[in-house]
């Protein structure tokens, strides 16, 4: 049974004398359940092995709330984000389209960067609004805004670079420019691409150091963020901040907003969709006092525990609302764990943040983009079930469209496949292939159990380049740790995979339908000298 789909109750017939058949029920009863509320919790830099139910043997961080969610729903073991870093994955989850079809061919949206999602692009928020949903985004955006910075004032928004400086002080000229900018509405954010409400910090380790609500800052930044905020994996670029800004309140504030939104909207007849992109356990590792030292491992592990607690608060709010049986909850992460948070230290203590996978955040190897992915949908997903089929965060768009009985236009969800059969227990592939990339844009193409990387190294921080093997081919069913490069033994398969990747680029989509244009000329790999010179 699917919520929102009409249900025809079975009508039994009685055979009477003379061959006359009459229904045993005088009237066939047709019922339609309301569309479900939808809650998408998006952790930031949470590794595949950071969640206990994904890493029983080599995971040492307790995550009871996420584990409980898995025990009540379906856990996917071969789910992927679009990239090993942040902004690209967010774009793809929200739009159902691979990020590399846009200008973002590598890296992330930069400081004061322009919006990556244009107003014409359908998002899951805009899709839900077509069915009367109340939509909210609460948390980290990192997809760009149209910051109203006057061209002549750009130098007054420059940061200290990575790290903090004690001698950096705001002048009257700085304050005047900041006042002019931050007292104006800022377009291009969540409320312009399908969300009724927004509250968050945009990027918690970058300026402006303040909350944003809808299309305005909460308060006017008037000073440089204090240098103490830039020590030991805390904030990174010193820039404009509201007076007295600190980092520890950020995550609890997001959780509180989400809880309040759920409580309020559950009292209305309309369904709601909430996209909750958490700021944790990404740096800044701003762990609150109740959680410091709780893991016995390191500060990052403490932050994972605090993140799990926030997930628990949100799940408890859904339970208290009385609507848990009609609420679809999705939990996942934007990419793998960042190596700079003390991964080596954690491994020495027996915790492996990537589990059995090679690499970590930023990489085209599995540790960069194979992520936890859990779906709880009462009366649809079987509690405690596990799905081993290949899925991608791009698939949320087509899944929600099917759930809401909406047809996607040709220019939306170009790389999105419907997960509903898997959620109902069908054990068959929904997609033939999937693409995820490393931070530098190096793609990783999946086709069944095979994985092709058209270049050496990881595409991220775990470079380990081997120029003798210019491309990589792995059979993940037998080699989940990507230890044996089979490209030299399987040249025909390498050619096949390269041709598939090229066709995905040319078609502008991976789903059936009319060809679509990419936003830019998509960068090709392997990077020959000619291609490298042309960027």
Centre a 10 Å sphere on the Cβ of residue 232 and count the other Cβ atoms it contains.
Answer: 8
Tell me the pLDDT of the chain averaged across its residues: 92
Token pair, residue 245, equals 């800004």
Is 293's pLDDT higher than 50? Answer: yes
pLDDT for 85-103, tens place per residue?
Answer: 999 999 999 999 999 999 9
User: What pLDDT shows up at residue 120?
Assistant: 96
Contact 112, 392 (CB under 8 A): no
pLDDT for 5 beyond 70: no
**What pLDDT, on a 0 to 100 scale, did the predictor assign at position 3?**
44
Q: Taking residues 521-533, report their average pLDDT.
A: 76
* pLDDT at 11 exceeding the cut of 90: no
Regarding predicted confidence, which is higher, 418 or 25? 418
Q: Per-residue pLDDT averaged across 129-146, rounded? A: 98
- For 65-86, write each residue's pLDDT tens digit: 999 999 999 999 999 999 999 9
Q: Which two tokens stand for residue 12?
A: 């039994």
Residue 47 has pLDDT above 70, yes or no: yes
Residue 364 predicted with pLDDT over 80: yes
Sign of the alpha-carbon torsion through 107, 203, 329, 326: negative
Tell me what pLDDT residue 32 has: 60
Confidence of residue 235 (pLDDT cuts 50, 70, 90): confident
pLDDT of 533 higher than 60:
no
Q: How many CB atoms lie within 10 A of CB 29?
A: 11
Other Cβ atoms within 10 Å of 106 Cβ, number: 18
pTM above 0.75, yes or no: yes
Per-residue pLDDT, 148: 97
Mapping DSSP to helix (H, G, I), strand (E, B) and coil, where does residue 261 land? helix
Question: What local confidence, expressed as pLDDT, does residue 531 receive?
Answer: 53
Residue 74, SS3 per DSSP: strand
**pLDDT, average across residues 23-43:** 68
Q: 20 pLDDT exceeds 50? A: no
The number of angstroms, rounded, from the C-alpha of 249 to the middle of its chain's C-alpha atoms is 22
Place of tokens 């190897």: 365
Q: How far apart are CA 40 and CA 42, in angstroms?
A: 6
Mean pLDDT of 27-52: 84
pLDDT digits (tens, 9 = 90+) for 192-231: 999 999 999 999 999 999 999 999 999 999 999 999 998 8
Residue ranges per domain, the chain? Answer: 154-184+209-246, 434-534
Position 165 scores a pLDDT of 87
Q: Residue 193's pLDDT is what?
A: 98
Please write the tens of the pLDDT for every residue from 398-456.
999 999 999 999 999 999 999 999 999 999 999 999 999 999 999 999 999 999 999 99
State residue 464's pLDDT score: 78
Does CATH place domain 434-534 in 3.30.1120.10? yes
Reading the block at residue 30, the tokens are: 């047709």
Coil/strand/helix, residue 213:
strand
Mean pLDDT of 463-477: 87
Model confidence at 336: pLDDT above 70: yes
329 touches 69 (CB < 8 A) = yes
Asked if the model's pLDDT at residue 8 lies above 50, the reply is no
Q: Please, are residues 324 and 286 in contact by the beta-carbon 8 Å criterion? A: no
- CB count, 10 Å around CB of 56? 9
What is the mean pLDDT of the segment spanning 520-526?
Answer: 97
Beta carbons of 261 and 138 less than 8 angstroms apart: yes
Q: How confident is the model at residue 22 (pLDDT cuts 50, 70, 90)?
A: very low
Band of residue 164 on the pLDDT scale cut at 50, 70, 90: confident
What pLDDT was estimated at residue 17?
Answer: 34
- Percentage of the chain beyond pLDDT 70 is 92
pLDDT at 172 over 50: yes
Backbone angles phi, psi at 172, to 5 degrees: -60, -35
- pLDDT, residue 530, reads 52
Of the candidates 421, 419, 416, the one whose C-alpha atom is nearest the C-alpha of residue 434 is: 416
Distance CA 56, CA 77 (A): 13
Tell how far CA 67 is from the center of its chain: 19
CB 101 within 8 A of CB 522: yes
* Long-range contacts, 490-494 (Cβ 8 Å, 24+): 493/450, 493/452, 494/452
- Above 50 in pLDDT, residue 303? yes
Say whether pLDDT at 515 is over 80: yes
Contact residues for 119 (Cβ-Cβ < 8 A; gap 6+): 188, 192, 193
Q: Which residue has the higher pLDDT, 78 or 162?
A: 78
Annotate 116-129 with b (16+ C-beta within 10 A) or e (fewer). bbeeebbbbbbbbb
Structure tokens at 442: 């190096």
User: What was the pLDDT predicted at 166?
Assistant: 85
């Amino acid at each position: 049974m699917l919520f929102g789909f009409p249900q025809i109750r079975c009508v039994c017939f009685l055979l009477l004398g003379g061959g006359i058949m009459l229904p045993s029920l005088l009237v066939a009863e047709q019922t339609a359940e309301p569309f479900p509320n939808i809650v998408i919790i998006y952790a930031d830099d949470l590794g595949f092995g950071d969640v206990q139910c994904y890493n029983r043997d080599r995971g040492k961080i307790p995550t009871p709330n996420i584990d409980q969610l898995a025990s009540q729903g379906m856990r996917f073991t071969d789910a992927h984000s679009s990239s090993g870093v942040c902004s690209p994955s967010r774009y793809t989850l929200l739009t159902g389209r691979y990020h590399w079809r846009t200008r973002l061919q590598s890296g992330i949206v930069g400081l004061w960067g322009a919006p990556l999602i244009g107003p014409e692009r359908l998002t899951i928020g805009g899709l839900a609004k077509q069915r009367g949903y109340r939509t909210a985004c609460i948390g980290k955006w990192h997809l760009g805004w149209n910051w109203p910075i006057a061209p002549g004032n750009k130098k007054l928004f420059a940061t200290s670079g990575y790290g903090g400086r004690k001698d950096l002080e705001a002048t009257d000229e700085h304050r005047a420019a900041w006042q002019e900018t931050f007292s104006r509405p800022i377009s291009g954010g969540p409320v312009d691409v399908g969300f009724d409400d927004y509250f968050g910090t945009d990027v918690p380790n970058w300026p402006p150091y303040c909350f944003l609500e809808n299309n305005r800052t909460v308060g006017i930044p008037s000073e440089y963020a204090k240098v103490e905020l830039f020590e030991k994996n805390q904030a990174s670029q010193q820039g404009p901040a509201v007076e007295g800004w600190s980092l520890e309140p950020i995550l609890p504030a997001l959780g509180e907003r989400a809880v309040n939104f759920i409580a309020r909207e559950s009292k209305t007849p309309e369904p709601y969709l909430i996209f909750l992109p958490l700021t944790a356990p990404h740096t800044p590792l701003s762990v609150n006092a109740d959680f410091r030292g709780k893991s016995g491992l390191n500060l990052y592990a403490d932050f994972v525990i605090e993140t799990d607690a926030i997930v628990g608060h949100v799940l408890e709010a859904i339970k208290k609302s009385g609507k848990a049986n009609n609420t679809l909850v999705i939990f996942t992460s934007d990419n793998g764990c960042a190596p700079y948070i003390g991964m080596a230290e954690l491994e020495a203590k027996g915790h492996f943040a990537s589990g059995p996978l090679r690499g970590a955040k930023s990489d085209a190897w599995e540790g960069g983009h194979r992520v936890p992915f859990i779906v709880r949908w009462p009366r649809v997903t079987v509690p405690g079930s596990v799905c081993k089929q290949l899925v991608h965060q791009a698939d949320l768009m087509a899944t929600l469209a099917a759930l809401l009985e909406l047809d996607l236009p040709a220019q939306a969800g170009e790389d999105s496949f419907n997960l509903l059969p898997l959620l109902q227990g069908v054990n068959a592939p929904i997609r033939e292939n999937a693409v995820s990339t490393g931070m530098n844009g190096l793609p990783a193409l999946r086709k069944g159990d095979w994985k092709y990387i058209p270049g050496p190294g990881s595409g991220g921080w775990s470079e380990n380049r081997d120029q003798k093997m210019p491309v990589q081919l792995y059979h993940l069913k037998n080699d989940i740790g990507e230890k044996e490069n089979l490209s030299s033994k399987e040249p025909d398969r390498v050619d096949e995979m390269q041709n598939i990747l090229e066709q995905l680029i040319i078609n502008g989509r991976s789903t059936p339908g009319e060809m679509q244009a990419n936003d830019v000329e998509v960068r090709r790999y392997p990077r020959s000298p000619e291609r490298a010179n042309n960027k």
